[in-house]
Each structure stands twice: as structure tokens, then as C-alpha cells.
């Protein structure tokens, strides 16, 4: 009986060690290269480029939606950033009414939606603080949540790609 218990304890310790290794700590933030590597490991594409304002971002796509990862609180020396944002945008032919946007933002905790000032585009965004204390597992969890909510956002606001 004691041998089984010890064997079970050893197996549990091994599982925890593997789980801990998979959840690599981020430390003082994440670089664009590291974010691209996480996306690639999840089977997504990743391209480091500049947006139209000159911000260095990582562009990718999932489930038929192009989106970008923006970086905030970046250290100029190390290029490590303490926060990231997933963002997707769509051109609008007929923008939704404010009440519809307000209902989404009230009911959906993680992905906010808003119209541009000229009402010609709708954006969905999700923010994530990754330092201190973040991990690659945390980013993976938020990426799964982002991918779960994007189809809902597209359906709710009748968005194309």
C-alpha cells in the first residue's frame, strides 16, 4: 500500500514538474521576438513589423481573423514590455448603435469593442499585464480566451474578416 502511495506521489511530482516547465516565467516583461515564438508554438503565424504609426508590433491571424499584438511599458535597453494588447479591426459599412456597443462592453468582461471617431471602423481589444509575475502559460490562456471571444464579436456586430 505504501509503495503505491509513494509511486503515486512520485508520478504527481513528475507531472507538476512538466507543467511548471511548460509555464515559463516571463520575468521583467516580454520582447516582440518572444511573443512571436509563443504564437508560432501555438501554430499561428507571426511577423514582427511596424504599424502605420511606426509602433513595432507582432501581426498574426487566427480563425480567419487578422490581429496584432501591441506592446506597452517597454524598456528601451532590453526591449522587454510589461503589457501587451491583442487588437483586431474591421471596416464598418453600417456602424452599430451605441446601445449595442455598450451592451457588449457591459456583458463581455475581457474583450472591449469600440468605434473609431469617424465611425468607419470597429476594434476589439484585450489587454494583458505580463510583468511582474507573468508566464508563457498565462499568455497562452489569454490567447485561448481571445480566440474564443473573437467569433462572438464577429457575430454580434456582423463583421467579416
Instruction: Kindly report the length of the chain.
Output: 161
Q: Which residue has the higher pLDDT, 2 or 25?
A: 25
What is the domain extent for residue 39? 27-156
In a domain, 143, yes or no: yes
Q: Which three cell numbers stand for residue 142?
A: 489569454
In a domain, 16, yes or no: no
Whether the Cβ atoms of residue 31 and residue 80 lie closer than 8 Å to each other? yes
Whether the Cβ atoms of residue 122 and residue 96 lie closer than 8 Å to each other? yes
In a domain, 9, yes or no: no
In a domain, 19, yes or no: no
At residue 18, the pLDDT reads 39
Whether the Cβ atoms of residue 123 and residue 112 lie closer than 8 Å to each other? no
Whole-prediction pTM value? 0.82
Number of domains in the chain: 1
Whether the Cβ atoms of residue 85 and residue 126 lie closer than 8 Å to each other? yes
In a domain, 10, yes or no: no
At residue 63, the pLDDT reads 85
DSSP state of 92: -
Average pLDDT over residues 35-51: 95
Average pLDDT over residues 27-43: 93
Amino acid at each position: 500500500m505504501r509503495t503505491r502511495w509513494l509511486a503515486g506521489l512520485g508520478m504527481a511530482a513528475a507531472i507538476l514538474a512538466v507543467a511548471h516547465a511548460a509555464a515559463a516565467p516571463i520575468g521583467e516583461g516580454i520582447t516582440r521576438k518572444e511573443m512571436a515564438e509563443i504564437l508560432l508554438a501555438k501554430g499561428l503565424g507571426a511577423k514582427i513589423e511596424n504599424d502605420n504609426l511606426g509602433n513595432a508590433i507582432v501581426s498574426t491571424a487566427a480563425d480567419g481573423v487578422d490581429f496584432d499584438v501591441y506592446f506597452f511599458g517597454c524598456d528601451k535597453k532590453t526591449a522587454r514590455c510589461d503589457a501587451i494588447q491583442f487588437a483586431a479591426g474591421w471596416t464598418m459599412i453600417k456602424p452599430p448603435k451605441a446601445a449595442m456597443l455598450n451592451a457588449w462592453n457591459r456583458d463581455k468582461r475581457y474583450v472591449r469593442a469600440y468605434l473609431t471617431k469617424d465611425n468607419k471602423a470597429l476594434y476589439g481589444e484585450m489587454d494583458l499585464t505580463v510583468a511582474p509575475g507573468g508566464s508563457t502559460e498565462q499568455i497562452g490562456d489569454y490567447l485561448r480566451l481571445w480566440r474564443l471571444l473573437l467569433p462572438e464579436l464577429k457575430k454580434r456586430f456582423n463583421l467579416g474578416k
